[in-house]
Structure 1
């Protein structure tokens, strides 16, 4: 590891120092700010993450070739080999030129929630491999790491120190008063908010937002902040480019509030942003806040918080539209979507390791439509996870299903495949950065066998592949998984050649009625436009009015970027096959 030289330290501008001091003062008191800033300054001096990078604090280098693959470290397994090495080799052989960044879901030692109950943030789970496997990966792909800020495992050294009354862990864990009125607290689970634990000082009630094993951390303790800043520096030195701030909306707690999106939470994110701008300016901060859209985009701040936020409304809206045969709600939502601040981006996805969250539909879809969608997903072999409401009732929180199973049709396989590919093409064409879950690449169906073993609904969407099984499936060109995988790799590579799909390229939503969703992406330099059309019906549908497309086409034909073929239309107009997706290059 190199060291941050005195010359590099001088790049820290007085403006940035004032920002850091102000943020520390807001969080921990003005009287402590200077001392904490000195401590931060010394920490920066011990690391060399920033050497050789521009001190401008601006993210550079994003392009239409930036695509994120979401995957577990042990998604692909083979006896006698480290899963991380297998995954790297698989990605290198199959996904070069299609994917630029690999999001390695928590690869640390953990005890529950498939990785999100972290025991030790600085170690690689021995079942997955070692740090040198991560470093090898970083030489071939950019990497995204998870920073699980809200909680840690009840088996972690920090919690053991809390139980024993030993520093520093004794100050890191969030306690709660069972006599206090906590009814306003918003959380995504129906399990108890407080969990009693026996400690050296007697029974203590610990805040457990997500589960009894995931004990919440106390961010009012500045030592905890510095613990995580050190972890961030370590991750950056190990090849991390994107930091995903997991469940960050719940980070700061304050009695008498809903403990969600508190000003202090936003201040912590701004502080981390300013910190990484100093040590590694090309780092991207991504916040994971699965909440209604307006709350979600608040994490852009004024362009001074997250560089990217998940487009959480997209997966359920797209799913609803394709199952109901209407693009109405998706079109209205997309047409009224405020663009993010300059230098900020939406991460567009349809599926991830979690289920399809439905809270982001609040204010967009009527409640009865959400309930109907949940019921239909259950009919497709999925499960519906619930959350506790303040009145004691429960409401759907998440649809646990693979995106392919949600859109497939067992009676009409090819139609189901077309509907699924339509959903994927649409997500890839939206303004922002696309992210693709490993199981979407392979059109993986619900893992009913895995669910039977664990009893956990999310297991349906978290199948682990054996390498020989996966390779055998990909070699059989007539299987759904093989066809979808080939389509994906080919389409992503073609997308990467089109400047109109640059994250900063403009986007215009077309009103072509409820049956067809249309949008136009135009390159930053104005030299390329791509008209994207998607049929939401299981039958052939004409594009109308065609005059809406005259601006981009001077003749009755255009090249489809997806297939490479010429698309022609007559005076009668252009017709799209059932669930067809077109990316038409404007002449």
Structure 2
């Protein structure tokens, strides 16, 4: 994948239509902005219980968006990333429906993971307490078959998302079929969704085990053999993330978004500088995504110090709630239907109290951080919390999953800070320095991030106390400086 800015988007929520319309948008209004696109689930159906992350058929494009030929066409102009939903599929899938009809006699029985497969001698309270889970309550859901017998199936996220036995022959066949479909249709990178939960083993946390690394490695090799790179999506302790990065193609830098917020809120860059000094270089950077703003990635874990203390994290979360006028509170944790409790659901723009300058500072830091930047469609357009959609669905993450129309896009492209962000994207895409060596320095409220590559350099200097900032670019043929304030006004 090219080291240039990429877009993250749902097809229908950005275009109001399908894949062909997205292709037109990327080649017209967004021309030359994004080298690649992470297409959030476009499988059948896009409107399940988890916005496409619970596919009934992972190899079928939802016909409301188009077909595989449309995907292939888009892939001719942009490098495409798609989600390989490793851990589960919909309870409405033909495979699981066959299990409900035929029970253990089903052809697909071994495809799904039951409690008995992992705990043949029974699940004690002690064993249950060890299991790491992203939501409160049981990891299992009881289903009744046509013959009235029952079984408890692993349902890590919701009771409509049935966990796959990825180590079974059927599980391996299922994943290989998806990979082959992707390879045939110009998908160049896959995001391994929920891969950390894929392997379950009695007596463990059933999360990010040594066996999980082995599974990810094997799956990545299969993908690589088909010309597909892999990105692992895991929220975890920051030092664990560093170790994970050594064993995979790419990881997300999930520590960056909360650390930038913390720096802007407190005018103290020390935690951010510490992280940027040691963070993985083979990473994808984000500020916002279709999920919430992660918190676990910077906090303490099991007695080990985090990048932020518990007190600093409490302040971070409460400041987000305050800045968003408590809208984020209505979408986070038990306040709404959520499949995780370690994220704050809020647009990044609202987390910064809709302050255009602070938002531009955050984007500048992201674009100068090591890794390949991705920009979420709602963040690109500077969208505010979608309280109407949240009230309609009561799905916490929908607060940052708006449905836009072509007129919404045209209006947003006239916003001064959207124009400023597009200018930052162009700098990130065209300056050769970003393919070189990175350096970061910081003292209290002063942050300096720089890149050097042969005859090119790029330097970002921010003073959070004085609220000043500048970018200096040196290329072989010219040198120029800009202030972020000047981009806005």
Shorter-chain TM-score range = 0.7 to 0.9
1:234-287 per-position Cα deviation (integer Å, ceiling 9, x unaligned): 11111100111001000000111000111221111111222233332xx21000
Partner of 1:95: 30
- Preserved CA contact (<8 Å) 2:235 2:254: yes
CA distance in 2, matches of 1:321, 1:97: 31
Per-residue deviation at 1:354? 0.4
Partner of 1:466: 405
Give matches, 1:78-89, under 5 Å. Answer: 78=16, 82-89=17-24
Per-residue deviation at 1:184? 0.7
1:189-240 per-position Cα deviation (integer Å, ceiling 9, x unaligned): 1243111110246111111111111111112312211221121011111110
Q: 2:438 aligns with which of 497, 507, 517?
A: 507
Superposed CA RMSD in Å reads: 2.6
CA distance in 1, matches of 2:159, 2:463: 46
Structure 1 gaps, min length 5: 1-61, 388-394, 410-415, 544-556, 569-575, 583-587
Give runs of ≥4 in structure 1 deviating > 6 Å. Answer: 579-582
Residues 234 and 221 of structure 1, relative CA distance in 2, 3 Å threshold: same
1:428-461 per-position Cα deviation (integer Å, ceiling 9, x unaligned): 1112111110111111111011111111111110
Q: 1:425 aligns with which of 364, 367, 370?
A: 364
- Preserved CA contact (<8 Å) 1:310 1:349: yes
- Preserved CA contact (<8 Å) 1:122 1:231: yes
CA distance in 2, matches of 1:334, 1:374: 22
Partner of 1:72: 10
What secondary structure does 2:43 align onto?
Answer: coil
Partner of 2:395: 456
- Preserved CA contact (<8 Å) 1:519 1:533: yes
CA distance in 2, matches of 1:149, 1:326: 39
Residues 558 and 456 of structure 1, relative CA distance in 2, 3 Å threshold: closer
Is 1:399 the counterpart of 2:335 in the alignment?
A: no
Residues 489 and 289 of structure 1, relative CA distance in 2, 3 Å threshold: same
1:41-92 per-position Cα deviation (integer Å, ceiling 9, x unaligned): xxxxxxxxxxxxxxxxxxxxx544x2220000212344xxx42222221111
Residues 566 and 300 of structure 1, relative CA distance in 2, 3 Å threshold: closer
Give matches, 1:113-152, under 5 Å. Answer: 113-152=50-89
Partner of 1:59: none
Per-residue deviation at 1:565? 8.8
Per-residue deviation at 1:541? 5.5
CA distance in 1, matches of 2:279, 2:62: 41
Partner of 2:385: 446
After TM superposition, the score normalised by the length of structure 2 is 0.88
Q: 1:230 aligns with which of 177, 191, 208?
A: 177
Partner of 2:271: 329
1:442-493 per-position Cα deviation (integer Å, ceiling 9, x unaligned): 111110111111111111100010222322443xx3xxxx223322323222
Partner of 1:435: 374
After TM superposition, the score normalised by the length of structure 1 is 0.74
Partner of 2:140: 194
Q: 2:458 aligns with which of 530, 539, 548?
A: 530
Partner of 1:490: 423
Residues 63 and 113 of structure 1, relative CA distance in 2, 3 Å threshold: closer
Structure 2 gaps, min length 5: 117-121, 300-305, 335-339
Partner of 1:265: 212
1:300-325 per-position Cα deviation (integer Å, ceiling 9, x unaligned): 34xxx421100010011111111222
What secondary structure does 1:94 align onto?
Answer: coil
CA distance in 1, matches of 2:308, 2:23: 40
Q: Answer with 1 or 2: which has the greater Rg.
A: 1
Per-residue deviation at 1:558? 5.5
Partner of 1:287: 232
- May I ask how many residue pairs the two structures share in their alignment? 460
Residues 445 and 339 of structure 1, relative CA distance in 2, 3 Å threshold: closer
